[in-house]
Structure 1
Amino acid sequence: MLTGGRTRPLQHGLRVETMLHAAPAVLSAPLRFEPRRIVELCQAPMSVADLAVGLKLPLGVLRVTVADLVTEGYLRIEQQLGELPIESIERIRDRVRAL
């Protein structure tokens, strides 16, 4: 229901370590339920994996919802230069396992 039956995100390239951020002004947008909570959590940059764990949503469902929010301009993808530190990769791995 949350994704309207879609299983593939509109925005490609959303990996578990992709960092997302929402501007404070987006809090006044007319969003409800999970999209609203995602925008609230992304006031500080947050990875896709961390969002899935925080919202207790399957990763696939979250990726479709997040892709919609990126496409609609509510979220932006943070630019990541270079490789992630091993600590970040391990933390993401642990959070994905928790799903």
Structure 2
Amino acid sequence: MGEDMVRPYLRDGPMVPALPADAASLLRPYLQTSGRVEAADDELEIEAQVVTSAYGLNSFGRLAFEHRDIVALCATTMSVAEVAARLALHIGVAKVLVADLAALGCLVVERPDPEPADDLDMIERVIRGLEGIR
């Protein structure tokens, strides 16, 4: 029997095509967010800074493992985008999970200033930082 064909459940059942190796990775984000694709806070910015709250630390043992990973990681303040990158999550999944934790009170979210930055020194530092990671 080839690797591209399997017999599901029954030894002598019909041969069916095997799922591609990356099929599980397509299903996992759906499971991590309980099928949701939009965050509870649909305006959560990827640059918003998040940090674990005291309640989050106290609730650590009762959280699902994806939530635990985020609560542990956010012991140090970081952006939603950093959470996604460090945990190898799709940014949409990270936004849903972070918004869930914030709604539970496990994370404190600090929103970015809505006014555009007029500080040229800061803009130049950001550009140099981005060029440095290229």
Q: Read off the aligned partner of 2:76 and give its amino acid letter.
A: A
The 5 A counterparts of 1:50-69 are: 50-69=82-101
Q: Which residue of 1 aligns with 2:69?
A: 37
Paired amino acid for 2:53: A
Q: TM-score, normalised by structure 2?
A: 0.59
Identify which of 26, 30, 34 aligns with 2:56.
26
Aligned Cα RMSD in Å?
2.7
Please give the TM-score of this superposition, normalised by the length of structure 1: 0.78
Q: Gapped runs of 5+ residues in structure 2?
A: 1-30
Pick which of 46-55 and 10-19 moved more: 10-19
How many corresponding residue pairs?
94
Tell which structure's C-alpha radius of gyration is larger.
2
Structure 1 unpaired stretches of 5+: none
Q: 1:25 to 1:88 in 2, by over 3 A?
A: farther
Structure 1 residues 8 and 26: alpha-carbon distance in aligned structure 2, compared to 1, 3 A threshold: same
Identical aligned residues as a percent: 35
